[in-house]
Amino acid sequence: MAEAEGESLESWLNKATNPLNRQEDWEYIIGFCDQINKELEGPQIAVRLLAHKIQSPQEWEAVQALTVLEACMKNCGQRFHNEVGKFRFLNELIKVVSPKYLGDRVSEKVKSKIIELLYSWTVALPDESKIKDAYYMLKRQGIVLSDPVIPAESTLIPSPPARPKNP
Amino acid sequence: LGEESEERDDHLLPM
């Protein structure tokens, strides 16, 4: 794909979250993931760009950005998990669901997707302790009332870890 | 060292 040569993270994400997209465009979503993996500071830059899109007043743009985020968590590995697992990024998600920040102006669809993602990461990435801190803070605040049900295909773990067998 | 100071500056949003 020759046209992809000059693409930046920002241009991939703009295409992947374009409000004019009729449906989620996986060519651009995967293009963004691949670009993250190619760049030295890909994860750091990507989470900043994603946070901005997730806070879009346009619901469809925000929903697509969350799909991109989910795809990155599945495809961009530990480097990306580390960036998502910092309060710097988690706070941007918290702002969207909290009525003290943007929550009153954001659709239920966007807020429930964020809560689903946070919860699924607390299960799939138990070592990322800040994700748990953020999620349980939302529970304490009454913003999350009960743990969402996560569809099996949405779980983050690509394949189950090998379990040592008892001899 | 940079990572340590980043860790110190990384706080949960006040609610």
Residue B10: list chain A partners with CB under 8 A.
86-88, 130
Can you give the pLDDT at residue A159?
46
A89, A91, A95, A96, best to mutate vs chain B, most B CBs in 10 Å? A91
Q: Is residue A89 a contact partner of residue A83, using CB atoms and an 8 Å limit? A: yes
pLDDT surpassing 80 at residue A87: yes
Residue A123's φ and ψ, nearest 5 degrees, are: -80, -45
- DSSP, residue by residue, A75-141: HSHHHHHHHHTSHHHHHHHHHHH-TTTTGGGS-HHHHHHHHHHHHHHHHH-TT-HHHHHHHHHHHHT
With beta carbons less than 8 A apart as the criterion, state whether A111 and A96 touch: yes
Cβ contact, residue pair B15, A137, below 8 Å: yes
DSSP state of A161: P
Of A32-36, A108-112, A159-163, least confident by mean pLDDT is A159-163
Give the pLDDT band of residue A134 (cuts 50, 70, 90).
very high
* pLDDT band per the 50, 70, 90 thresholds, residue A163: low
* pLDDT tens over chain B, length 15 residues: 677 787 888 999 988
Distance separating alpha carbons of residues A109 and A92, to the nearest angstrom: 17
The model's pLDDT over A6-52, given as tens digits with 9 standing for 90+, comes to 789 999 999 999 999 999 999 999 999 999 999 999 999 999 999 99
Q: The complex's ipTM?
A: 0.81
CB contacts, 8 Å: B13 with chain A: 87, 91, 94-95, 98, 101
Is B13 in Cβ contact with A94 (below 8 Å)?
A: yes
Measured torsion, CA atoms of residues A132, A138, A143, A145, in degrees rounded to the nearest 10: 50
Is B12 close to A141, i.e. CB distance below 8 A?
no
Mean pLDDT of chain A: 92
Locate the chain B residue with the closest alpha carbon to A100: B15
> So what's the pLDDT on residue B15?
82
- Considering just the CA atoms, what is the radius of gyration of chain A in Å? 16
Of A157, A135, A138, A147, residue with least CA distance to A85? A135
pLDDT in tens, A57-70: 999 999 999 999 99
